[in-house]
Amino acid sequence: MTLLREELARFIQIEGHRVEVAPVGDGAAAELLFRSRGYVFSVGAREGEPPHFAIATAYEIPPWARERAQNAVTLQDVANDVGDVHFVLAPNGKNFVVRLDCAGASLQEFQRDFWTSVARVREAGVAALERILDRSESRAAANKFIKSLTRGD
């Protein structure tokens, strides 16, 4: 019997992309890694009826914008805006993961919507990073303004 991960790996390869496959845990699940548009995406696939799929990628937060508490709030705001995409901020605040769970979809349904789902993950990640950077930049600008006010001429 062909494993889900093998069918999925073949699909991604037919679509033109190199894939690395690694079994996870008891072997019923696997992680498939591929690159697209400069990002490395992870596809989680768990055998079962129905199977479970997830697509994720990670974004690095520039050192000057790593304010963990503020960024956690920002990611939650973006998650509320974009719907069923989840964000996980690393404990060290250096990066965050964007994940889309595709529970209940058959392999065929998952493959049919695969690139749309990848685009949703990518766009949500880009939107979140932009918002983090916007907040940091506006905060930096506000700080400069406040300092210049308090310093006086």
Partner 1 sequence: MDSDRLAPLELALEEEGLFSTRDDDDEALRVAFKSEGDRYFIVSYRDDPNFVMIGSGWSLPEGAERERVMRIINALNARKKFVKSALWEEENDVLFTIELCVVTPEEIRPHFGRLLDVLRDSASEFFAELRAG
Residues within the interface to partner 1 (CB under 8 A): 13-18, 34-38, 40, 115, 118
Shortest distance, CB of residue 33 to partner 1, whole angstroms?
A: 9
Q: Which residue lies nearer to partner 1 by CB, 37 or 147?
A: 37
Instruction: Let me know the angle formed at the C-alpha of 102 by 119 and 17, rounded to the nearest 5 degrees.
Output: 45
Instruction: Report the nearest approach of partner 1 to the CB of residue 96 (Å).
Output: 22
Nearest to 33 by CA among 25, 23, 79: 23
Provide the token pair at 151.
Answer: 């310093």
Q: State which residue, 16 or 152, has the beta carbon closest to partner 1.
A: 16
Return the number of the residue (16 or 83) whose C-beta is nearest partner 1. 16
What tokens were used for 22? 């690694």
Report helix, strand or coil for 144: helix
Is 132 within 8 Å of 95 (Cβ atoms)?
A: no
Q: How far is the CB of 144 from partner 1 (least distance, A)?
A: 32
